[in-house]
Structure 1
């Protein structure tokens, strides 16, 4: 079972996420709490994944994120927001957030995204705008153009980077490319080193900036 903790100041959001995730056979929401209760809840319930509101009135989501990453064996943390572009996104990613989701994410996609987070995948909501991507990379993080950084990679590493950008875990990438998980792990380490980034989600943003990722297909209404 994937153990999930939901942190949000709105009871309706907490309840909604809990019901959606608890409907999956392999996911259990161990607690749904406000920001002020988050660190204690993580210590007590030991979740694998935390879905953390980035803006809360009782305590700042970035403060909670920083506190969680100081814990022994910290959980994977993805930030939640109602905004497609949030000035705190870049800071959250630099503080170690493993993903960024808007709260109106398709309910059918939510369990899949949690599974990806649990398996080490990078999760970025399809509504993240080019402005967020560009702002994150341009704000002192990546001096040179993304295309030049990606050019350092071998063809195999670029193929792995594309799959990282799609949110796949090492095991999923291995299955897709007919490689062992250990080989994929070696490729990922090499990619992070060559791109001079510290996490898969940062590498995914760089892949987006370099034009390696296909834009999401438009959703059909009705």
Structure 2
């Protein structure tokens, strides 16, 4: 059973998510929070598998709450959920340790599926925010003139795959792009995570941006 805490200052949003979750047999809501501080407290007290975290909440916002939850070093993963016009915060949320970034106009079933993905140890970013993510990062950081030593441990093929990950491609899409089997792509992903000491796919995405492997949209 996947145990979830819902953190959103809008009771209607929490109620809608809980309604969908209660119809499942593998996910349950174990707590609800109306602000970030309460979300942090519940995460420490209940140790849920996933916190679904709104960004804009009174007092402690979702980004700071995410940072505190992930810094505690427990088993809890965070899925950040916000409205599309706030997705300029995606980089800060992922930097804070979120394992997923979703938007509220996604179907509730898709949000539920994302909770399952993150609980299983994977990471997920809504495709609709990938382009904005690149733009937001580019606005904050100077373009690297050369790759840092962090990429010296990977092969050219692994670098190519890391670039595609940074562009937001899924494993099947990477397989199609490079004419590889999905199993081979998964093997490369495992190697990249190990070599770059990355927690999950999201950290690989961030690394691809920081190393200048991703072209910023014009």
TM-score by length of structure 2 reads: 0.73
Query: Contact 1:18–1:32 at 8 Å: present in 2 too?
Result: no
**Pairing of 1:1-222 with structure 2 (within 5 A):** 1-35=1-35, 36-128=37-129, 130-137=131-138, 139-140=140-141, 143-144=144-145, 153-155=155-157, 158-159=160-161, 165=168, 176-177=182-183, 185-190=190-195, 192=196, 199-204=200-205, 206=208, 210=214
Runs of 5+ consecutive residues of structure 1 not aligned to the other structure: 169-174, 212-222
| Count of residues in Structure 1 that have an aligned counterpart in Structure 2 | 198
How far apart, in 1, do the equivalents of 2:20 and 2:49 lie?
A: 17
Question: Displacement, 1:76?
Answer: 0.8
**Larger helix proportion, structure 1 or 2?**
2
Residue 128 of structure 1 aligns to a residue whose secondary structure is: helix
Query: Contact 2:88–2:136 at 8 Å: present in 1 too?
Result: no
TM-score by length of structure 1 reads: 0.71
Residue 28 of structure 1 aligns to a residue whose secondary structure is: strand
What's the RMSD between the two structures over aligned residues? 3.5
Runs of 5+ consecutive residues of structure 2 not aligned to the other structure: 172-180
How far apart, in 2, do the equivalents of 1:49 and 1:37 lie?
A: 15
How far apart, in 1, do the equivalents of 2:186 and 2:127 lie?
A: 29
